[in-house]
Structure 1
């Protein structure tokens, strides 16, 4: 291979890495009772020029069940998703103007029309952008 052709390939490869580096592919867990019982926010951006990201929530209570459910797309800037305890293995998720209900007993998740807009229980934490990366930040424990 000619030296010039080798240099062109290296530059093309470096450019491709730069293009792909702008994409977000993350899976951020809220561990309920260890790693076997969790809600996981998944965000995937196929191409850096896309303004929307595919989002899903994985509802997991292993070994009984695990299910990935697509939710409404998100923006490239993570919009905070608050997680509320709703009782009996139910969790309410609130992102922007959308609400979801997740049940870890049978690993189900659905849109929730919450006409009051009020959370059904105590806030346990939020999926947020922390130090440039998605993270779950729990509510500090009361003293």
Structure 2
């Protein structure tokens, strides 16, 4: 399943995403991963959440991003949830390919039973129609 937190930059999406991740890690029996563009929020996350700084890796296209996601999942059979902050930046996706990348993530989610919670810096109206029902909060 994909859940989307949308809104323009500076509206508090990251704060909500961190809060949601910290709450979920208390309830799950598996692992939780938080992908971000830097280590800025390291101390705000529970120590039970694995923070991955994508800027440490050579991910510069959305194909490389999807491969990276598949690699993380392949190495952790107990992975239950992935939180993706600054989605447009970490996924290297431009506006016209948002729907395509979300579709691929949805396929990965279904196949491997991993939930994705995504923070994306666009208005809810700009989210592709097939993913509007996945928006859990729009700021």
TM-score (norm 2): 0.25
| Bigger share in strand | 1
| Structure showing greater Rg | 1
TM-score (norm 1): 0.25
| Bigger share in helix | 2
